[in-house]
Amino acid sequence: MTDLFPETVLTDRLRLERIDTDDADALDLYEHWREGAPNVEATTEYVTWEPYDHPHGVAETLSRTAERTENREGATYLLRPREGDPGAGEIAGTTGLFMDWDCRVGGLGVWIRKPFWGRGYSGERADAVLKLAFDRLDLELVRVSHLPENENSERAITKYVERHGGRRAGRFRNRVDFQNGTIHDTVEYSVSQAEWREADGAEAEVEFRD
Amino acid sequence: MFPAIIETERLRLEPRTPEYVDTFEVYEHCNRDAPHIDEITEYLPWEPHSTPNETAEFLERGAAARDEREGIDYVIRPREGEQGAGEIAGFGGLTFDWDTDSAELGTWLRKPFWGRGYSGERALALAELAFEQLDLAVVTVTHEAGNEQSARAIEKYIDRMGGRREGTLRNFHAGDPPVDAVRYSVTQAEYRDADPDQEGTFLDSDGESWP
């Protein structure tokens, strides 16, 4: 049986590898997710989770991630630049697709290490995940949100949502609570499958490998 | 932690629990053959009840949610002097999301009671409870996209409380097909600033002043 979520996704410059609980991944990610890791304060400023104080915590997160994939509730991928891009083969970040089958919706998430900011990786990764969501999983809608004060995400998201024909829904108050107990508004966006098909973004070169 | 009775100028609200409301009295208004039931439930997240057992479960869920502090729903009855005084006009309440310091309003009214401004009167009383007594930061409300009647009623009372329309969330409710929703919110600061000219009376189960 073919998995709903492909093991590997290739774009022009990125390789997405599905996380299937692997202690090696946990130790690799801990390097970037631990307290005191380079730029970890900047890269986790607007995410729901806090830097980790032990690789065990990362392993637990990965094992929950793998369980989610097994239950067909979503998938998380490691992002690695492909041959030819600076830092090829390194972990540049992670990205997730979280399913709400009853609403026929997928939610996007992404985390990227600071040395890889500004390369348009988030948009390229979004092209790939949208193709996965619409072409392969036949979802009706993909949604994504950022905190109102996160201008980097706002720029990146606005750009790819527009490219794919989607729209900004608005700012929603007291919409999420973070692991550290803080409560935040969100700015939300969505792209429908019909909008995506109409827009040129659907033409992005993406390869799925099972 | 919650008042048993809420009174406004024209309405009396009592807990949606088996203690306060009779199963068959509710079933009469929400069964599949109840007058205008399809029109009433067109934009609501529930289907008409097929058996009184569903109605009994509906009331039990109301009691359980209150016990668990997940939500408080009230049966709405017009007070003395109103047409249909003492009848069930509908239901209205708050669903809590304590993690985000917010509560969501929800309501439905039987058709004979539409157009009287009951929804706004009920909303203002529940918002007063949410902000003044429960100290929540935000009160939200959604209606299904396309429900013009709810949009009108909600815009009116949200405006009175100083809140705003936030936007449309597509595929918000599960279903076949899934349904879009329009969301509105009011913050405690906006509510205090707007100072809506309505005060509810809150009573405990003995009819004494609450809290």
Q: Kindly give the parts of chain A with pLDDT less than 50.
A: none
| Mean pLDDT within B97-116 | 97
Count of C-beta atoms within a 10 Å radius of residue A151: 11
Q: B residues 171-200 near A, CB within 8 Å?
A: 171-175, 177-178, 183, 185, 187
Q: What is the pLDDT of residues A60-110, one digit of tens each?
A: 999 999 999 999 999 999 999 999 999 999 999 999 999 999 999 999 999
Distance CA A205, CA A82 (A): 14
Q: Residue type at B8?
A: T
Q: What is the pLDDT of residues B123-175, one digit of tens each?
A: 999 999 999 999 999 999 999 999 999 999 999 999 999 999 999 999 999 98
Report yes or no: A94 and A77 within 8 Å, Cβ to Cβ: yes
Q: Which residues of A touch B172 (CB under 8 A)?
A: 103
- Chain A residues with at least one Cβ partner in B under 8 Å: 100, 102-105, 140-141, 143, 168-177, 183, 188, 190, 192
Report yes or no: A195 and A140 within 8 Å, Cβ to Cβ: no
Count of C-beta atoms within a 10 Å radius of residue B78: 19
B102-109 β-sheet, strand order: B164-173, B179-187, B138-144, B102-109, B90-97, B71-78, B11-15, B5-7, B201-203
B197: pLDDT confidence band, cut at 50, 70 and 90? confident
Select from A105, A140, A183 the Cβ nearest to the Cβ of B100.
A183
Residue-range domains of chain B with CATH: 5-203 (3.40.630.30)
Question: Closest Cα partner for B72 from B80, B85, B63, B59?
Answer: B63
In angstroms, the separation between the Cα of residue B142 and the nearest Cα of chain A is: 12
Residue B121 has pLDDT above 90, yes or no: yes
pLDDT value of position B45: 87
How do the domains of chain A map onto residue ranges?
8-209
In angstroms, the separation between the Cα of residue B78 and the nearest Cα of chain A is: 33
pLDDT value of position A112: 96
Residue B85 has pLDDT above 80, yes or no: yes
B34: pLDDT confidence band, cut at 50, 70 and 90? very high
Q: What is the CATH number of domain A8-209?
A: 3.40.630.30
